[in-house]
Amino acid sequence: MYFADGKRRAERRRAQRVLRGSDASGDVGATNVASLSGDSLAFTPRLPSRDHDDGFHPESLVDGDALRDAAESFAANEARRPYGAFPAPATSLGNRRDETESPTTVPPMSPFDTMEEELAHGGYGDHGGHAHITHALELASGELTDGLNLRGLNLRGKNGDRRLPRSATTPDDETARSAFGSQPWRLRDADDDAFLTRDWDSPPERQKDFIDESEMDRDDYGLPGGGARRLAVSGARASSIANRKDKLWKLSSSYLSNDVPSIQKSLVQHVEYTLARRRYKFDRGSFYQATAHSVRDRLIERWTDTQQFYASRDCKRTYYLSLEFLVGRSMGNAVSNLGLRGAYAEALRQLGYDLEDIMAQEKEPALGNGGLGRLASCFLDTLATLNYPAWGYGLRYKYGMFEQRLLNGKQVEFPDYWLTHGNPWEVERLDVKYLVRLYGHVTTYNDETTEETRFKWEGGEVVVAVAYDTPIPGHGTYNTNNMRLWSSKPSHEFDLASFNAGDYYGAVEAKERCESITSVLYPSDDNDNGKVLRLKQQFFFVSATLQDVLRRYKKRLAPGRTLKQFPKKVAIQLNDTHPSVSIPELMRLLLDEEFLSWEEAWEICTETFGYTNHTILPEALEKWPVPMLEELLPRHMQIIFEINHRFLSEVEAQWPGDVQKLKHMSIIEEPSDAQSQKMVRMAHLAVVGSHVVNGVAEIHTKLVKTRLFPDFDAMYPGKFLNVTNGVTPRRWILQANPAMSGIFTSVLGPGWVNDLRRLKTLGPFATDPSFQRLWTEAKLANKKRLAAWIAENLSIDIMTDAIFDMQVKRIHEYKRQLMNVLSIVHRYAVIASSSALDRQRIAPRVCVLAGKAAPGYDVAKKIIQLACGVAKVVNNDVRCAGRLQVVFIPNFNVSLAELIIPASDISQHISTAGMEASGTGNMKFVMNGGLIVGTSDGANIEIAREVGEENLFSFGATANEVAALRASMHTRAPTTDTRLARVIRMIRSGVFGDPEDSAALMDQLEPQRDYYLIGHDFPSYLEALDRADLAYANRKGWAAKTIRAASSMWAFSSDRTIKEYAEKVWGVEPSPFKPPHHAQPPARRERPGEKRGARRGEDERR
């Protein structure tokens, strides 16, 4: 209860000061600030702009003295324990546990609160958590990087007294810890006697009440005669089902034990029985597989129980449809969310392995490309953590995007064989298959019942969708949701007749054609075959998904419920335009398979779907040629035409005679000079077929409403709304930055992981010298970690006492990596032309770039080539030694991002204003103690408002100014900045490689062709970089800026984002699952000699 009781404590302290005659007029926030050193008084906590009226004032909820005591305790801990290790508990008072015994996985209690209090209030108790908390507390007990100097931190009050007593560890506490040993799932009761006498040798029971009996009562049940036969034995069967249910439950009535010996046993068993390896001859690859299966066992039992619990509650579920899920490595996230990182680390250590080395063996799933897929994965993490019933749906790409390699500075694409050694985290569902039809023709017939004309899609090619499921665990909760990915398989594996006739390739042709649908993420669409394959991917994905969702809904049909209640139990979110074809597919299923009327089906459809727009770029708003759709999906083209006809009738009724309105709003785009055939506007279809359309940042939503869909906004008032993106702090702080998260946990307790608002209480410490030293040492440790990786993998030794300047994201012209490269060339020119004395005055800088260019995007590839050429010249020029280094890191992915982001001092988010929808990298960098150099675009605007304009280096034209500048581009004649002119001359002269390779890039910088306004923004961009250099020179001031910024980022947690989606779009409620073990604890008996009601406050909190 680090926060739940803080206000009462503060009030009690003020009352004591009044009794002592001290001034108690100021609030606790003022008292905190007054007791700090330096210019702390200048700090005024900023309340998040979204919550002016929610009554949350973090500066008044935590006692400053408690924070000081906790931070001091953290700094005074001189032990440098290994990652995730804990001190061995005493087996009895005064005796240490033998080293051969398994160490406890229960971490030390908080300096000023007990674990059970935190469980009961705010942090994790609301989610039904238990052992999940241990990882957050592990950070407090030694997860911080060894290189940090933690001594000497003094954050006491002015008089140096400790006014808030520390929670002492009593002999009973020690005995209790010894009693329950290394079972991290165990919780302590309020009653110490009950706590000690409880049977702790058994893990918690699994749920029994929610077993799905309908799955046990199969239709055939192995009996001939169908329904009549089943009715005859219904009574006997009911008794049989009850008996089998009880027996099956007893065979697996408790969760797996999580003590170190049990984990070690599971590891060895998986090596020997799952992998069929000899138990005495292991390699790290085998042990990774064994560890993954061991962790997965613990995920699956929670996963199956969670799904049965949702079914028993008949919860409304959210289905998140995304063609990308950039999940990153799973093992670290899984053991952290389960609260078992320390237990697995110790289990492996005793067997001679290191958890970090084992986790590094995991091949990262190549299921996404950039921010879109990573956002979807953040959302799945948060949905599980906040206990929302939800599934993610996508495709299981065999080769993913591609593996990026640099050959002579050029990007070369190689297949990403991420499934070479299998994926131990997924479960192949051979029992979950759906048929997906392509091509064919449509026939009509009369419904004998209603005498209506019905349609039937027949013939063509049939592909089988096979499900692969991955458990998604929540943090601090038992709830474990599901990510279901589809793999394409042929309906007929092998054509034996063709093979026997000598046509060996023809015998497997259909198989290869079907499997190619899920082979590669985003096949190149610069030719017709590539476009057809992309459309096949999208339809295959949504058809299998919708069939699965409908099956699950119909399975749970209650008396009186029909498909008309479908939107009350199902919410489907379309992540960008890729899944938009799901709208006509759901209509087809409802019309042709369920025989609903058009009006009924359309009402269900529009109330079910929500559409998230992620871009206003025309090339990203998909359009498909009508002839292609008519050939590949003939029935869907008919439905789209009908949707458009009815929609345009509504438009005509609202704006009679307005032909331009009809033209602009039509789902079907007519031929023009730019295109020779009719096109289907998929974004228009998504808008018409959804009940809510949302943008992902305030400026983006405004542009969607005013530039992209102004007529739709006028026609459907209130349909368009904003839900700003967010990222999960579990992966991007807790897992990616153990040094910084260790500070947070030790000062604030573990609750910050699921409630980032608590970080705001660290604001007053921004200028405290001791806290700053701890903060900067953590940053230096992250820099050294990145430098070590670069040295090992790229053979470049980079300096760590320098500004780390990062730009890591998908390569695109509008993101303006080219402008960054040009600024590096300018800095190089300044250094090269300066005297040795003047060079020493230039701030040292390490520039890190990373990102992939789409295979067919030649301009983006040229930008990578130029960046590599500049890096080669700069890093080999002795004049730049100690002043400037440039690194381009290839094959950027989630794991590399977790390494790069915590090391940043500044990150560049410099897109042309109005073109970046939101961005999520900007959020991750600031959360990890970096500052932004950026334009007024995407979420940068909202970040600046939250962290303070003074803690962000803004530059460049605004979105409105960009539109005006582009409109006058061909009529005005601006003068090119002299510094930019010099940079262009250097590049054209061949200093950084063959000038022909970069000629096209330089040509685009001419004022009349500078669509992305690099020339216009370049002077203010250099000025922003200079301001960042100047601010960094004042290290204390820089530390204060980064602390204030990082502690003000709660609004960009995906937890806030998902809560807004749940309330504004989906209408779903949390459904926390708690096993029977977490029922009400027994009533607490008073200790001998204890006064009645002495711990009433604690009992009330429980």
Q: Annotated active-site positions, please? A: 614, 809-810, 815, 920, 924
Quote the strand ranges of 829-936, DSSP E: 845-850, 884-889, 906-909, 931-934
Quote the CA–CA distance of 1102 and 1099 in Å, as a whole number: 5
Question: What contacts 214, CB < 8 A, 6 or more positions away?
Answer: 555
Helices (H), 655-768: 659-665, 682-688, 698-703, 710-715, 729, 738-748
Instruction: Give the chain's length.
Output: 1102
Query: Which residue reads 């100690």 in tokens?
Result: 882
DSSP assignment letter at 880: G
Angle, in degrees to the nearest 10, between helices 260-269 and 341-350: 70
Quote the CA–CA distance of 1075 and 307 in Å, as a whole number: 13
**Residue 906: in which H helix or E strand, if any?**
strand 906-909
**Residue 612: in which H helix or E strand, if any?**
strand 609-612
Quote the strand ranges of 362-518, DSSP E: 390-395, 403-407, 410-414, 427-438, 441-446, 453-458, 461-473, 480-490
**Residue 952: in which H helix or E strand, if any?**
strand 952-954
DSSP assignment letter at 423: -
Structure tokens at 492: 């007929």
Quote the CA–CA distance of 948 and 952 in Å, as a whole number: 7
**Residue 4: in which H helix or E strand, if any?**
none
Quote the CA–CA distance of 826 and 839 in Å, as a whole number: 14
Helices (H), 458-565: 496-500, 504-515, 528-555
Q: Do β-strands 679-681 and 668-669 pair in parallel, antiparallel, or remain unpaired?
A: antiparallel
Q: Are 142 and 86 contacting, i.e. CB atoms less than 8 angstroms apart?
A: yes
Structure tokens at 989: 């002269």
Q: Are 909 and 921 contacting, i.e. CB atoms less than 8 angstroms apart?
A: yes
Q: Do β-strands 884-889 and 845-850 pair in parallel, antiparallel, or remain unpaired?
A: parallel
Residue 221's φ and ψ, nearest 5 degrees, are 55, 25
Residue 400's φ and ψ, nearest 5 degrees, are 65, -150
Structure tokens at 234: 């219904």
3-state DSSP helix/strand/coil % of the chain, to nearest 5: 50, 10, 40
Quote the CA–CA distance of 427 and 424 in Å, as a whole number: 8
What burial letters (b/e) apply to 560-595, b meaning 16+ CB within 10 Å? eeebeebbebbbbbbbbbbbbbbbbbbbbbbbbebe
Sheet-wide strand order for 845-850: 884-889, 845-850, 803-808, 906-909, 931-934, 952-954
Quote the CA–CA distance of 651 and 503 in Å, as a whole number: 56
Quote the CA–CA distance of 231 and 413 in Å, as a whole number: 62
Dihedral of alpha carbons 414, 419, 420, 423, sign:
positive
Residue 321's φ and ψ, nearest 5 degrees, are -100, 120
Q: Are 540 and 632 contacting, i.e. CB atoms less than 8 angstroms apart?
A: no
CA 323 to chain centre: 15
Angle, in degrees to the nearest 10, between helices 634-654 and 598-608: 80
> Would you give the end-to-end CA distance of the chain in angstroms?
10
Considering just the CA atoms, what is the radius of gyration of the chain in Å? Answer: 31
